[in-house]
Amino acid sequence: MKTRTLVLLSSAIELATGVALIAGPGLVARVLLGADLSGSGFAVARVGGCGLLSLGLACWPGGGNATAQATRALFVYNLLAGLYLGYLRVGGGFSGYLLWPACAVHLLLALLLARPAFEGGRHAK
């Protein structure tokens, strides 16, 4: 799969997740973590949604190419998010029905983005 396609897919997922967290943080918490949010949790989730929306927009490939910076940023984000979501399921006591699929998608994207991220964007087209 081309790096541009991977970056586009990852950016689209982060954009959608960001919008979902801004619009309905409680719903996202329930389906992802199997838990409800408290008052401050709504605020933190919405700020996180703003961050994901910004990440998706910043990494969106423009002009037909995915930049090396966007590829590396999405690699690191997907790796850390996948590892943390896995930890939340195994050691954190969370059990939302989308937790394992979200973990798997992030780790798969990280795996697919690893090579282009470390090759410095030579395959960023």
Domain ranges of the chain: 3-118
Mean of pLDDT values over 45-70:
92
Looking at 1-124, list the stretches that DSSP marks H as alpha helix, in order from N- to C-terminal side: 3-23, 25-33, 39-59, 68-90, 99-118
Buried b / exposed e over 73-110, threshold 16 CB at 10 Å, is bbbebbbebbeebbebbeeeebebeebeebbebbbebb
Mean of pLDDT values over 18-41:
95
Question: What pLDDT score was predicted for residue 121?
Answer: 47
Question: What pLDDT score was predicted for residue 124?
Answer: 45
Distance (Å, rounded) from C-alpha 106 to C-alpha 52? 14
Give the model's confidence band at 53: pLDDT under 50 very low, under 70 low, under 90 confident, else very high: very high
Question: What pLDDT score was predicted for residue 66?
Answer: 86
Question: What pLDDT score was predicted for residue 125?
Answer: 47
Contact between residue 11 and residue 60 where contact means Cβ atoms under 8 Å apart = yes
Mean of pLDDT values over 6-14:
95
Mean of pLDDT values over 25-52:
95
Q: What is the pLDDT of residues 71-101, one digit of tens each?
A: 999 999 999 999 999 999 999 889 899 999 9
Give the model's confidence band at 105: pLDDT under 50 very low, under 70 low, under 90 confident, else very high: very high
